[in-house]
Amino acid sequence: MPGTTVYPAGRTAPGVLPHPVGPREWIDRARSSLTLARSTGRGVRVEDLCPLARQAVERALCAVLVGEGLTPPPVPGVAPLLAALIGAGIPVPERLGRAAVLFGGEEPAEPVRIEKYYEAIMVASEAIRFAEERVGRH
């Protein structure tokens, strides 16, 4: 059939990452996102890096939920993940509570001040540290 691509069973389409299963996989993906978010250089805009920092936070929070035997909420975003953690009685570091505000509702083309970028990197690093500590306990 012209214009149709068929992928073998068990494989994902090119450019689509398989969904992580265990908490360690979520942490590995969070680290990967953070590494990409830190990849500043000539011609790289922080507006393009902040979503990667947000993704690192989301993946780290998913690691904690999965590590606790919980299913991440179907609604994407930092705020629903934080709400799920708090609702499950899992103490969340204060700085991560600010992540919902930091990463809430920004437009892709919205200019980002360098201070916000640095804060996003720090919050993502904290989220990964939190996930590693929580997952390491189980």
Check residue 103 and give its pLDDT. 75
| Torsion on CA atoms 51, 135, 35, 104, rounded to nearest 10 | 10
Q: What is the enclosing helix (H) or strand (E) of 45?
A: none
Residue 58: CB partners within 8 Å, gap ≥ 6? 76, 77, 78, 81
Residue 5 lies in a domain: no
**What is the rounded CA–CA span in Å between residue 6 and residue 8?**
7
Residue 1 lies in a domain: no
Per-10-residue mean pLDDT, the chain, length 138: 46 51 94 95 88 94 95 89 95 85 65 88 96 85
List pLDDT tens digits, range 64-83.
Answer: 999 999 999 988 889 999 99
DSSP state of 19: P
pTM confidence score:
0.81
Which structural domain, as residue segments, surrounds residue 50?
Answer: 23-136
Residue 37 lies in a domain: yes
User: Can you give the CATH number for the domain in which 50 is found?
Assistant: 1.20.120.330
Residue 106 lies in a domain: yes
Residue 77 lies in a domain: yes
Residue 82: CB partners within 8 Å, gap ≥ 6? 61, 92, 96, 97, 99, 100
Number of domains in the chain: 1
Check residue 55 and give its pLDDT. 94
Residue 102 lies in a domain: yes
